[in-house]
Structure 1
Amino acid sequence: MRLYSMPSSGNSYKVRLLLALLGRACEIVDVEYMTEALESARAEGRLPFGKAPVLALEDGQLLPESNAILCFLGEGSAYVPADPVLRAEMLGWMFWEQNQHEGTIAVRAALRFYPHRRALATPERMAELLDRGHANLQIMEDRLSGRDWLVGDAVSLADICLYAYTHTAGARGGFDMARFPAIAAWLDRVAALPGYQGLEA
């Protein structure tokens, strides 16, 4: 397999993290923002939706979208609950991550982190994203208070997908993570998983 991966992106990182946790071999092709590698991958039709990550299978099929790739890689593993209700709960958190969480946590970080996006970081926009992001983090905090994982009694794809942008929310996004002790403990649990790989690895 070959993963077209944006090194700085949480969406790409979550796939690299699951591959590491599963011990799966995969060629990594870096396609960072504003690089020739990204433009080449687009021109060659390797990025069906125009963005990374994309997993290229051995038969040539291309799988775009980070959480879809997680579901494919996680099939049959301990990261996907066997119980259909728990599996639906897992998917619910994964849908919420893309629909709500990413749109605040990742977007605010991107406006601060990527030079070509800083012009969009108006004080009003940044304040709005800060408030909404803290509200989304509080949803996670409430869920994780008194429990180890987001779904059931074991780590699942829900934890992997939400870890990616949450673990850099303070450093990159400027969110006040001291307000969320249950999230902090959960981040430590994910980082302690056998095979864990950090964002910069």
Structure 2
Amino acid sequence: MAHSRIVVMVPLVAVGALLAGCSSGGGSTSPSRPATAASSSSSAGPSRPAPAPTESNPPGDIPDNQVYVPYAPAQGGFSVKVPEGWSRSKQGAGTVFTDKLNSVTVRTTSAATAPSVRSVTGTVVPQLRTPVTRLTGAKASVVKRHSGDVVRLTYQRDSEKNPVTGKVVRDAVERYAFYRGGHEVDVTLSGPVNADNVDPWRIISDSFTWK
């Protein structure tokens, strides 16, 4: 009698499970990158020296005890006081008195008519722009002085370069045009813009007298 075989089919059960590639809770920590070194160079340049302290008497101040002496040209006609001890020189048709950064220039000329605000503004100022460096703020007005009404022109300019230091100073200028009988005398006062020379300039301009 033949024996029959019994084949038992056993189903294969998957025992492996698919693993999640990444876990939302942790995950591996990536290696830290080396910190980038900060630039060793500073944007600021070399340290600047502290500014010099402000002087109590700015350069160009004329001392309160300055003595003034009369100046009259050889041909006569007028007299004006100038600071005693200042150096005197000729500059074209004018006589110049200087000390440090200040100057007083006295110049005589012939004129058919008396100067006016209009003539000074329209004629004198354009003439000054060529010899005067960086002339700005020109303004003409009539002011009273002991000799009477006079046309005053104020402006600023650059001084000539100092031959020793090479420095240029910004000057404040007052130009007084005195007139009588065809004769004009221009008295020009100049000094640094930061100097307090209001009183000295008033003493000089008030001292002008016709002879």
What's the TM-score, normalizing by structure 1? 0.29
Q: Which structure has the highest strand share of the two?
A: 2
Q: Which structure has the highest helix share of the two?
A: 1
Greater C-alpha radius of gyration: 2
Higher RCO structure (Cα 8 Å, ≥6 apart): 1
What's the TM-score, normalizing by structure 2? 0.28
